[in-house]
Amino acid sequence: MAIHGDVVIGIDIGTTSTKAVVFDGRGKVLASHAVDYPIIQPHPGFAEQDPDELFAAVVQAVGAVTIRHGIRPEQVKAMGLSAAMHSIMALDESGRPLTRLLIWADNRSVAQTERLWKEQNGLAIYRRTGTPIHPMSPLSKLLWLKEEQPDVFQQARRFVSVKDYVLHRLYGDYVADHSMASATGLFRLDTLDWDEEALALVGIRRDQLPRLVPATHIMTGMKREWAEKMGVASDVPVVIGASDGVLANVGVGAVLPGEAAITIGTSGAVRTIAAKPTTDEKGRTFCYALTPGYWVVGGPTNNGGILLRWLRDEFGAHEREVAKKLGMDPYDLLTKYAERVPPGAEGLVFLPFLSGERAPYWNANARGTFFGLGLHHKREHFIRAVMEGVCFSILSVALAIRDVTGPMSEIRVSGGFAKSPFWRQMLSDMLGKPLIVPQTHEASALGAAAVALYALGELPSLETVKTWIDTTARHEPKEEHTLIYAELFDLYARLYERLKEEFDIIAAFQRRSG
Ligand code: ADP
């Protein structure tokens, strides 16, 4: 269907696909197109992507959406960019890739990360840069490259993220926005500049990194070839934008200091807005830039909806079969069973660390545990305990963030878990806070479009986005449940502390026997 009138396009360069989403001037989705690509895993623990495939996906996604919907170049008032955090790659003198993109999920730099913590005062680096010391961080990945592929490292003229690479191909200029830079472990939050100490530690010069610009920086003069393929004018303003994580906050309407967004998809994250850069003395949370007055403080958990998926796939053959007969989603059946059981699953507590854990514990050796099992426990207790375990892990991250930024004023939830009203209520009870369910699709792309309009002066502030977003549901915590969960959370946190050494032992055993 043809689209008339002015539009703004949000481009979200994600882990599984790049999406081009067409919005009107009030954030309404008019059309979208996604182009998928794989993660390449040449060795266990490696996670790479082909930068040229991602670049082609950007051009193709925008080109497809403009052609299909008859959008003429003069209708496109602006484009805004969002991209996944933590990717890094090496380029030669002429800008050609010497490596693939090493993406956030790449774990090869475990040894370098441990050394950063133990020998190189990792906590101080984190407190200057806001990026947790973790294999996801480009800082660790560059150390790996220097040690494991010294020839490539020496040959490299530059190091860039996925967004920097795409922009260089479009404009011939090496620029990075403060937000993407703040997720590299190489960027100082207080001066909005590269961190000389981190650069010296890795052994790179600042002229090997892109020029830094704010999220509202406007690029023009796109190379004609690409503008034509995308169906836009080469002087269309392209606003550099930020990272997908911080833009997702904008895109769900969590934009004022103290407002938080909780997402539980496959993994999970809690993110809140702070008015100034804020880090944790214990190193539990991240702090990434959006614009000078907006910082996103938060923590990711590995163990979100993937646990219910694991339960469904490994132990839910019965539910899958029944759901099929009834024409239901198996998740809806599983959660119905869980509803039969009272909060606390009659004494069954689940530590959900099936994939190790990032925030707040940052412990790759942590493992899952069912605690308190009795003969009275049936499958519905297990389902409920698993759902509660996911919420406990979110609560543990939220409490760490509260220590750093103070109490959260308003919490907005999204992701696959939000399809379940029961699971949402459980989270509200667990946090002891009201939850709002915003009606948003493509939150990061919407955030990118909003920043683009803001940069062009067509939006008075990013808070305006709130007026674009409808609320579909609201949950109030049930006090009696909150009390039960507070008691059990105390036990959960104690169990984690007590089992720390045992987790190391079982993880080592698993590695030996795997
Ligand atoms: P991804 O993280 O891959 O983008 P989603 O955001 O859709 O995927 O989240 C998927 C997760 O959401 C599932 O693993 C499951 O835990 C949860 N989920 C999806 N649908 C439902 C549902 N109807 N009820 C409860 N949980 C659901």
Reported as a single tens digit per residue, the pLDDT across 218-276 is 999 999 999 999 999 999 999 999 999 999 999 999 999 999 999 999 899 999 999 99
3-47 pLDDT, tens per residue? 999 999 999 999 999 999 999 999 999 999 999 999 999 998 899
The Cα-based distances of 159 to 13, 45, 211, 213, 426 in angstroms read: 18, 21, 12, 16, 44
CB atoms within 10 A of CB 483: 13
* Closest ligand 1 atom number to CA of residue 423: 25
* 3-state secondary structure at position 20: strand
pLDDT at position 292, please?
86
CB 77 within 8 A of CB 8: yes
| Architecture field, domain 305-408+478-512 | 2-Layer Sandwich (3.30)
pLDDT at position 440, please?
85
Convert 359-378 into a string of H (helix), E (strand) and C (coil).
CCCCECCCCEEEECCCCCCC
Which secondary-structure segment (H or E) carries 263?
Answer: strand 259-264
Q: Is the CB of 316 under 6 A from ligand 1?
A: no
Percent of the chain at pLDDT > 90 equals 97
Q: In the chain, what are the domain boundaries?
A: 7-252, 305-408+478-512
pLDDT at position 1, please?
79
Supply the residue whose CA is at minimum distance from atom 15 of ligand 1: 305
Instruction: Indicate the fold that domain 7-252 takes in CATH.
Output: Nucleotidyltransferase; domain 5 (3.30.420)
338 vs 343: CA distance, rounded Å: 10
The rounded Å distance from CA 265 to ligand 1 centre is 5
User: What is the gyration radius of the CA atoms in the chain, in angstroms?
Assistant: 23
Given pLDDT bands bounded at 50, 70 and 90, which one contains residue 511? confident
Which secondary-structure segment (H or E) carries 48?
Answer: strand 48-49
175 vs 373: CA distance, rounded Å: 55
pLDDT at position 441, please?
84
The rounded Å distance from CA 60 to ligand 1 centre is 28
* Closest ligand 1 atom number to CA of residue 329: 23
294 vs 290: CA distance, rounded Å: 5
Q: Is the CB of 417 under 6 A from ligand 1?
A: yes
Supply the residue whose CA is at minimum distance from atom 8 of ligand 1: 265
Supply the residue whose CA is at minimum distance from atom 12 of ligand 1: 416
The Cα-based distances of 398 to 259, 270, 391, 431 in angstroms read: 12, 6, 10, 8
Q: Is the CB of 443 under 6 A from ligand 1?
A: no
125 vs 187: CA distance, rounded Å: 10
Domains 7-252 and 305-408+478-512 share a fold: yes
- Confidence (pTM): 0.94
Q: What residue type is 291 in one-letter code?
A: T
Give 466's DSSP letter: G
* Closest ligand 1 atom number to CA of residue 307: 16
Angle at alpha carbon of residue 490, lines to 486 and 496, rounded to 5°: 140
476 vs 359: CA distance, rounded Å: 26
Mean pLDDT computed over 486-504: 98
- For a mutational test of ligand 1's pocket, the pick from 331, 384, 393, 423, i.e. the residue with the most ligand atoms closer than 8 A to its C-beta, is 331
